[in-house]
Structure 1
Amino acid sequence: MAQPVILTIDDDPAVSRAVARDIRRRYGDRYRVVRADSGPGGLEALREIKLRGERVAVLLADYRMPEMNGIQFLEAAMDLFPAARRVLLTAYADTDAAIDAINVVDLDHYLLKPWHPPEEKLYPVVDTLLEAWAASPDQASDEIRVVGHRWSAPSFAVRDFLARNLVPYRWLLTDDPEGGRLLAAAGADATDVPLVVTPDGKALVAPTEAELAAVAGLTVAPSADFYDVVVVGGGPAGLGAAVYGASEGLRTVLVERRATGGQAGQSSRIENYLGFPDGVSGAQLTDRARRQALKFGAELLSTREVVGLESAGAARLLHFGDGSTIAAHTVVLATGVSYRVLDAPGLADLTGRGVFYGAASTEAPSCVDQDVWIVGGANSAGQAAVHFSRYASRVHLLIRGADLTASMSSYLIQQLDRIDRIVVHPHTEVVGGEGDDHLERLRLRDTRSGDVREVDASWLFIFIGAEPRTEWLDGVLVRDGRGFIVAGPDLTAGGRKPPGWTLARDPYHLESSLPGVFAAGDVRASSVKRVASAVGEGAMAVSLVHRYLEAQ
Structure 2
Amino acid sequence: MTESSRPSPVILIVPAEEHRTVLTDEFASRYGRDYDVQVTTDVLDVTDFAAALIAGGQHIALIAVDFALDIDAVDVLDVLRNVSPSSRRIVLVAMGTFGASLDELRPALAVGRLDTYLLIPQGPRDEEFHTAIAEYLSDWATSTSTPEVAGVRIVDDGTQIEVAGIRDFLDRMAAPWTRYQPDSPVGRELLAEAGEGAALPVVSAFGRPPLTGATEQLVASTFYGSPADLGDDYVADLAIIGAGPAGLAAAVYGASEGLRTVVLESEAVGGQAGTSSMIRNYLGFPRGVSGMRLAFRARLQASRFGARIFTGRPAEGVSVGDLHEIAYDGGVVRARAVLIACGVRYRRLGVPALEDLVGLGVYYGAATSVAREMEGRDVFIVGGGNSAGQAAIHLARFARSVTIIVRRQTLSETMSAYLVNEIAMQRTIRVRTGARVVDGGGDGRLEWIDLEVGPSTERHDADGLFLLLGAEPGCDWLPDEVSRDRRGFVLTGRDIPKSAWRGDLPPAALETAVPGIFAAGDVRAGSMKRVASASGEGAGAVAQVHAHLAPAPT
Fold-level match, TM-score > 0.5?
yes
Q: Determine the C-alpha separation between the residues in 2 that align with 1:220 and 1:454.
A: 49
Q: Determine the C-alpha separation between the residues in 1 that align with 2:152 and 2:469.
A: 33
Please list, as runs of the form range in 1=range in 2, the aligned pairs for 1:272-421 lying within 5 A after superposition.
272-312=281-321, 314-322=322-330, 324-421=331-428
Query: What amino acid does structure 2 have at the position aligned with 1:472?
Result: W
Q: Determine the C-alpha separation between the residues in 2 that align with 1:321 and 1:197.
A: 22
Task: Report how far residue 402 of structure 1 moved.
Answer: 1.7
Give 1:431's match in structure 2, choosing from 420, 429, 438.
Answer: 438
Q: Determine the C-alpha separation between the residues in 1 that align with 2:504 and 2:235.
A: 27
Secondary structure of the structure 1 residue equivalent to 2:219 = helix
Query: What amino acid does structure 1 have at the position aligned with 2:246?
Result: A
Please list, as runs of the form range in 1=range in 2, the aligned pairs for 1:74-473 lying within 5 A after superposition.
143-174=151-182, 179=187, 182-183=190-191, 186=194, 192-198=199-205, 200=207, 202-209=209-216, 211-213=218-220, 216-218=223-225, 220-224=227-231, 225-312=234-321, 314-322=322-330, 324-446=331-453, 448=454, 450-473=455-478
Q: Is the 8 A contact 1:153 1:352 kept in 2?
A: yes
Equivalent residue, structure 2, for 1:477: 482
Q: Determine the C-alpha separation between the residues in 1 that align with 2:208 and 2:490.
A: 46
Q: Taking structure 1 as reference, are residues 307 and 140 closer, same or farther at Cα in structure 2, changes over 3 Å only? A: closer
Q: Which moved more, 1:357-366 or 1:471-480?
A: 471-480
Secondary structure of the structure 1 residue equivalent to 2:370 = helix
1:12-47 per-position Cα deviation (integer Å, ceiling 9, x unaligned)? xxxxxxxxxxxxxxxxxxxxxxxxxxxxxxxxxxxx
Q: Taking structure 1 as reference, are residues 149 and 220 closer, same or farther at Cα in structure 2, changes over 3 Å only? A: farther
Q: Is the 8 A contact 2:235 2:333 kept in 1?
A: yes
Q: Determine the C-alpha separation between the residues in 1 that align with 2:405 and 2:296.
A: 31
Equivalent residue, structure 2, for 1:83: none
Kindly report the root-mean-square deviation, in angstroms, between the aligned alpha carbons of the 2 structures: 2.3
Q: Determine the C-alpha separation between the residues in 2 that align with 1:335 and 1:408.
A: 23
Q: Which has more radius of gyration?
A: 1
Equivalent residue, structure 2, for 1:542: 542
Q: Is the 8 A contact 2:265 2:313 kept in 1?
A: yes
Q: Determine the C-alpha separation between the residues in 1 that align with 2:208 and 2:483.
A: 49
1:53-83 per-position Cα deviation (integer Å, ceiling 9, x unaligned)? xxxxxxxxxxxxxxxxxxxxxxxxxxxxxxx
Task: Report how far residue 452 of structure 1 moved.
Answer: 0.6
Task: Report how far residue 201 of structure 1 moved.
Answer: 7.7
Q: Determine the C-alpha separation between the residues in 1 that align with 2:148 and 2:251.
A: 38
Gaps of 5+ in 2: 1-146
Q: Determine the C-alpha separation between the residues in 2 that align with 1:187 and 1:141.
A: 25
Query: What amino acid does structure 1 have at the position aligned with 2:305?
Result: F
Q: Determine the C-alpha separation between the residues in 1 that align with 2:496 and 2:225.
A: 38
Please list, as runs of the form range in 1=range in 2, the aligned pairs for 1:5-20 lying within 5 A after superposition.
none
Q: Taking structure 1 as reference, are residues 298 and 365 closer, same or farther at Cα in structure 2, changes over 3 Å only? A: same
Q: Taking structure 1 as reference, are residues 168 and 255 closer, same or farther at Cα in structure 2, changes over 3 Å only? A: same
Task: Report how far residue 160 of structure 1 moved.
Answer: 2.0
Q: Taking structure 1 as reference, are residues 374 and 151 closer, same or farther at Cα in structure 2, changes over 3 Å only? A: farther
Q: Taking structure 1 as reference, are residues 239 and 148 closer, same or farther at Cα in structure 2, changes over 3 Å only? A: same
Task: Report how far residue 150 of structure 1 moved.
Answer: 3.3
Query: What amino acid does structure 1 have at the position aligned with 2:524?
Result: R
1:104-153 per-position Cα deviation (integer Å, ceiling 9, x unaligned)? xxxxxxxxxxxxxxxxxxxxxxxxxxxxxxxxxxx996622102243531
Task: Report how far residue 208 of structure 1 moved.
Answer: 4.8
Q: Taking structure 1 as reference, are residues 402 and 214 closer, same or farther at Cα in structure 2, changes over 3 Å only? A: closer
Secondary structure of the structure 1 residue equivalent to 2:228 = coil
Q: Determine the C-alpha separation between the residues in 2 that align with 1:293 and 1:201.
A: 25
Equivalent residue, structure 1, for 2:514: 514
Query: What amino acid does structure 1 have at the position aligned with 2:521?
Result: G
Q: Taking structure 1 as reference, are residues 350 and 183 closer, same or farther at Cα in structure 2, changes over 3 Å only? A: same
Q: Determine the C-alpha separation between the residues in 1 that align with 2:537 and 2:149.
A: 42
Task: Report how far residue 165 of structure 1 moved.
Answer: 2.1
TM-score, normalised via structure 1 length: 0.69
Equivalent residue, structure 1, for 2:63: none
Q: Is the 8 A contact 1:497 1:506 kept in 2?
A: no
Gaps of 5+ in 1: 1-138
Q: Is the 8 A contact 1:228 1:328 kept in 2?
A: yes
Task: Report how far residue 424 of structure 1 moved.
Answer: 1.0
Q: Is the 8 A contact 1:240 1:536 kept in 2?
A: yes
1:500-520 per-position Cα deviation (integer Å, ceiling 9, x unaligned)? x54564201011011110000
Secondary structure of the structure 2 residue equivalent to 1:497 = helix
Q: Determine the C-alpha separation between the residues in 2 that align with 1:248 and 1:200.
A: 34
Q: Determine the C-alpha separation between the residues in 2 that align with 1:326 and 1:503.
A: 30
Q: Determine the C-alpha separation between the residues in 1 that align with 2:251 and 2:190.
A: 40
Q: Is the 8 A contact 2:392 2:402 kept in 1?
A: yes
Task: Report how far residue 161 of structure 1 moved.
Answer: 2.3
Q: Determine the C-alpha separation between the residues in 2 that align with 1:159 and 1:377.
A: 25
Secondary structure of the structure 2 residue equivalent to 1:326 = strand
Secondary structure of the structure 2 residue equivalent to 1:156 = helix
Secondary structure of the structure 1 residue equivalent to 2:309 = strand
Identity of aligned residues (%): 43
Q: Determine the C-alpha separation between the residues in 1 that align with 2:258 and 2:298.
A: 17
Equivalent residue, structure 1, for 2:26: none
Q: Determine the C-alpha separation between the residues in 1 that align with 2:189 and 2:396.
A: 35
Q: Which moved more, 1:215-224 or 1:403-412?
A: 215-224
Q: Determine the C-alpha separation between the residues in 2 that align with 1:334 and 1:141.
A: 34
Secondary structure of the structure 2 residue equivalent to 1:473 = coil
Secondary structure of the structure 1 residue equivalent to 2:550 = helix
Q: Determine the C-alpha separation between the residues in 2 that align with 1:519 and 1:438.
A: 40
Q: Determine the C-alpha separation between the residues in 1 that align with 2:277 and 2:181.
A: 25
1:458-501 per-position Cα deviation (integer Å, ceiling 9, x unaligned)? 21000110100111115231110110001101114xxx231xx5
Q: Determine the C-alpha separation between the residues in 2 that align with 1:368 and 1:179.
A: 26
Equivalent residue, structure 2, for 1:523: 523
Q: Is the 8 A contact 2:263 2:308 kept in 1?
A: yes
Q: Determine the C-alpha separation between the residues in 2 that align with 1:219 and 1:375.
A: 36
Q: Determine the C-alpha separation between the residues in 2 that align with 1:379 and 1:460.
A: 17
1:306-348 per-position Cα deviation (integer Å, ceiling 9, x unaligned)? 1111222x221211232x2121111010000000000124111
Q: Taking structure 1 as reference, are residues 545 and 140 closer, same or farther at Cα in structure 2, changes over 3 Å only? A: closer
Query: What amino acid does structure 2 have at the position aligned with 1:304?
Result: R
Q: Determine the C-alpha separation between the residues in 2 that align with 1:460 and 1:372.
A: 6
